[in-house]
Amino acid sequence: MRITVIGTGYLGAVHAACMADAGHEVLGVDVDPRKLAALSEGRPPFFEPGLPELLRRTVDAGSLRFTDSLQEAGEFGEVHFVCVGTPQQPGSYAADMKYVDAVVDGLTPHLRNGSLVVGKSTVPVGTAARLAQRIAELNPAVDAELAWNPEFLREGFAVQDTLRPDRLVVGVTSERADAMLREVYAPMLEAGCPYISTDLATSELVKVAANSFLATKISFVNAMAEICDAAGGDVVTLADAIGHDTRIGRRFLSAGIGFGGGCLPKDIRAFMARAGELGVGEALSFLQAVDEVNMRRRQRTVDLARELVGGSFLGRNVAILGAAFKPDSDDVRDSPALNIAAAIQLQGGQVRVHDPEAIDNARAQFPTLDYALDIEKACERADLVLHLTEWTQYRELDPGRLLTVVREAVLIDGRNTLDIAAWRAAGWTVRALGRSQH
């Protein structure tokens, strides 16, 4: 099929390359000329494992190309995927729909008869019905439809999640739209991927409901970590024990400094805002507590760090291992690691940050922090080391070797993924949130 993907950020660039790899002819659309130039050369403008190879292969094969023209997109495509961002509105929890609205307004006058516009952006429930009406009003001469197909990508695994998804959810209003999406995703369906076809509202709700559940699970185990700190328990053992219950499961029960990124925080807040608009705000009041527990983890880490350096950061060197909000990504949006680093600096600490991939993005957001391209350089003469993003490189560190470069061998494992026994055996004082000090 001839497919357009409008918006080539984390979602759109991956989707475009994967659709081309699946056998479609794909046109990617964006307004950023630098991004378009990089993508046209097969270079993704962000770090995502597996994407560079996929981009180069599909661009070189001619099945994927890029443009800045919505007119060209409308005239080219049968199916148009909308993959632009829906950030949080300034001064509000609600999602900002201006980018999605702009795409629909710009694309609709150029749509071909029988074409299908498919939203993939995370939006407030009711958006799809509103946009379907907008398309009908702007171009009544063409028989164009709108569907919704939420994404469930994990940064760091986005290519895998697109080519081999654990489920496909589509919101449609006709059999024709359903048939077109089945054709788009034919390779995935042939591989046995579950396919759920539903109404527009349910498809919109699935994504925010999934993210709300995951956020709740993370904040639950972090709340248990607070209890463990007060009672002398060990949250990792606790999580292992309850995770064996098949009704609960172990995934997303990792206590630490909490979640961040461009999805979970803004999505649960936008969901709360939309529930309030619908008059059912009480149904999601628990998400307020989820958000509060999550944000409290950052402050708790700063407080623990201050305690470990003697009550004040003044004159203290602090090494931060990790800037991205999660490993295998260079995304620093709402990164707990960087938030903690900045808070320590504001309180007088000399902070130096290392990350395998996210240094450039981190420097753009927090230019006053110091950065190091080498782990040992980041830890040089440090009075405290904080492990805040669970990169494999950090788990594989030799604590004995690192001992030779720091001033004080004191470590906070903010992700509970290091071998604490090995670090303590090497001579380090190690603390972790929700874990025994011994």
Cite the active site residues.
263
The one-letter amino acid at 371: Y
CA angle 224, 218, 226 (to 5 degrees): 25
Q: Are 408 and 382 in contact (CB under 8 A)?
A: yes
The secondary structure of the chain, three-state, reads CEEEEECCCHHHHHHHHHHHHCCCEEEEECCCHHHHHHHHCCCCCCCCCCHHHHHHHHHHHCCEEEECCHHHHHHHCCEEEECCCCCECCCCCCECCHHHHHHHHHHHHHCCCCCEEEECCCCCCCHHHHHHHHHHHHCCCCCCEEEECCCCCCCCCHHHHHHCCCCEEEECCCHHHHHHHHHHCHHHHHCCCCEEEECHHHHHHHHHHHHHHHHHHHHHHHHHHHHHHHHCCCHHHHHHHHHCCCCCCCCCCCCCCCCCCCCHHHHHHHHHHHHHHCCCHHHHCHHHHHHHHHHHHHHHHHHHHHHHCCCCCCCCEEEEECCCCCCCCCCCCCCHHHHHHHHHHHCCCEEEEECCCCHHHHHHHCCCCEECCCHHHHHCCCCEEEECCCCHHHHCCCHHHHHCCCCCCEEEECCCCCCHHHHHHCCCEEEECCCCCC
In angstroms, rounded to a whole number, what is the distance separating the alpha carbons of residues 287 and 389?
24
In angstroms, rounded to a whole number, what is the distance separating the alpha carbons of residues 115 and 127?
19
Tokens 């060990």 sit on residue: 234
- The answer for residues whose C-beta is within 8 angstroms of residue 350's C-beta and 6 or more apart is 315, 316, 317, 318, 370
Ramachandran quadrant class, 2 (left: phi over 0; alpha: psi -120 to 50; beta: rest): beta
In angstroms, rounded to a whole number, what is the distance separating the alpha carbons of residues 356 and 372?
10
